[in-house]
Amino acid sequence: MANAHTVWLIHDGAKGNAVQCEGVAAALGLNATTHVVAPPRPYSWLAPWGPPAPAPGFAPPWPDIAFASCRQAVPYLRRLAKSGVFTVFLKNPKINPANFDLVFPLAHDRVEGANVISTVVSPHILTVDKLARAKREIAETFAHLPPRRLGVILGGNNSVFTLGATQIDRLATDLSALAQTRDIGFIVTPSRRTGTANTSHLRDALSGLDAYVWDFEGTNPYHGLLAHADWLLVSCDSVNMVGEAAFTGKPVYMLPLPGASAKFARFHDSIIATGAVRWFDGQLETWPVTPLDATQEIAEAVRAAYEAKTGKKIR
């Protein structure tokens, strides 16, 4: 039945937006066509309020269901909604949610509406099976590390937070102290935002420890890190990375960084309130964690609403 539905995913190509659409569609068992939109000026200036710019492939026949997840995609999704397509926006659309069938912002966005369902974390493409496969595939890479491992996931500078040499030094000092009191290995995945200087600095600082620091060569070991780690330490600048770590059901720590905003503060408070995440103070504890899985929650809400509106089963 899934293949009987045509599905479009509309976003700007950014990974953080793509995985949200892809994850929900996959959870519903739907095959989808992706439309990456990059409207020129003045359309890009007018989004999300203005009309959609002409885009390759964005023409009838329209799909049965469409998911979108970025500001530039809003005009396209609104056009589809007016044509009778079942529309789902993942994130805060910054316009009246009533334009769409369902809207799934994060709780810290404080969006309200009859068709709005807020979640603490974002949807993603992770599944239990995917992590199990990643664990098998990368086991040899981490075989030299002690059996107990801390996975460190680093973002970097953004409009709110700063990651620099001072923070790298503090992190290295804390990890070195943990290594002296525990038989523990470290798996580190920096991101592009971490920066070459910070990544090199951390690699040098951890050179005497049982540590693996990804060098951006070959396949990103991120999923393998999530699968192999006993604890996860994620820099506080990324909502998506913290949420994905919380999916694993392992104790998750957030690494504080200089910077602050009311919106990030609300996110940090809300995810800490779930019991899955704590602030990192240099120590590691183990506590029972219930995995956070917005992907399945959203998928089931979409299924129910679509079937109620159309009378058609998704599967």
> pLDDT tens digits, residue range 161-179?
999 999 999 999 999 999 9
Query: Which amino acid is located at 127 in the chain?
Result: T
Mean pLDDT score, 211-228: 95
Mean pLDDT score, 247-251: 98
Distinct helix (H) and strand (E) counts, the chain: 10, 11
Q: Is the pLDDT of residue 16 over 80?
A: yes
Structure tokens at 20: 């949200």
Q: Is the pLDDT of residue 22 over 80?
A: yes
Which H or E element spans position 21?
helix 15-27
Q: What CATH number does the domain containing 201 carry?
A: 3.40.50.2000
Question: Are residue 110 and residue 147 in the same domain, yes or no?
Answer: no
231 backbone φψ class: left, alpha, beta (φ>0; ψ -120 to 50):
beta
Question: Are residue 212 and residue 267 in the same domain, yes or no?
Answer: yes
The residues, any chain, with a CB within 8 Å of residue 41's CB and separated by 6 or more, are none
Question: Are residue 160 and residue 262 in the same domain, yes or no?
Answer: yes
CA distance 222 to 213: 11
- 31 part of a folded domain: yes
- 287 part of a folded domain: no
Q: Is the pLDDT of residue 3 over 90?
A: no
- Contact at 8 Å (CB) between 194 and 163? yes
Question: Are residue 57 and residue 157 in the same domain, yes or no?
Answer: no
Q: What CATH number does the domain containing 39 carry?
A: 3.40.50
Question: Are residue 133 and residue 275 in the same domain, yes or no?
Answer: yes
Question: Are residue 298 and residue 274 in the same domain, yes or no?
Answer: no
CA distance 256 to 29: 38
Tally of domains within the chain: 2
- 289 part of a folded domain: no
- How many CA atoms, within 13 angstroms, populate the side-chain half-sphere of residue 254? 26
- Contact at 8 Å (CB) between 282 and 178? yes
- 74 part of a folded domain: yes
Structure tokens at 226: 């999530």
For residue range 252-301, what is the model confidence (pLDDT) as tens digits? Answer: 999 999 999 999 999 999 999 999 999 999 999 999 999 999 999 999 99
Question: Are residue 170 and residue 139 in the same domain, yes or no?
Answer: yes
pLDDT for the residue numbered 224: 97
Query: Nearest 10 degrees: CA dihedral of 48, 49, 50, 56?
Result: 30
| Averaged confidence pLDDT in the chain | 96
Question: Are residue 67 and residue 114 in the same domain, yes or no?
Answer: yes
Q: Is the pLDDT of residue 230 over 50?
A: yes
The residues, any chain, with a CB within 8 Å of residue 139's CB and separated by 6 or more, are 224, 228
- 92 part of a folded domain: yes
Query: For the chain, what percent of residues have pLDDT higher than 70?
Result: 99
Mean pLDDT score, 65-83: 98
Question: Are residue 113 and residue 133 in the same domain, yes or no?
Answer: no
CA 157 to mean position of chain CA atoms: 17
CA distance 266 to 74: 25
Question: pTM of this prediction?
Answer: 0.94
CA distance 176 to 8: 48
- 170 part of a folded domain: yes
Question: Are residue 140 and residue 251 in the same domain, yes or no?
Answer: yes
CA distance 313 to 65: 12
Structure tokens at 217: 């060569």
Helix axes 294-310 and 15-27, enclosed angle (nearest 10): 60
- 204 part of a folded domain: yes
- 284 part of a folded domain: no
Question: Are residue 214 and residue 181 in the same domain, yes or no?
Answer: yes
Question: Are residue 106 and residue 7 in the same domain, yes or no?
Answer: yes
pLDDT for the residue numbered 30: 96
Whether the CA torsion 231, 233, 239, 241 is positive or negative: it is negative
Domain that holds residue 235: 128-279
pLDDT for the residue numbered 138: 96
Q: Is the pLDDT of residue 308 over 90?
A: yes
pLDDT for the residue numbered 120: 98
pLDDT for the residue numbered 315: 76
Mark 89-126 as b/e (b = at least 16 C-beta within 10 Å): bbbbbebebebbbbbbbbbbbebeeebbbbbbbbbbbb
pLDDT tier for residue 2 given thresholds of 50, 70 and 90 = very low
Structure tokens at 233: 């330490």
Structure tokens at 278: 């704590």
pLDDT for the residue numbered 218: 87
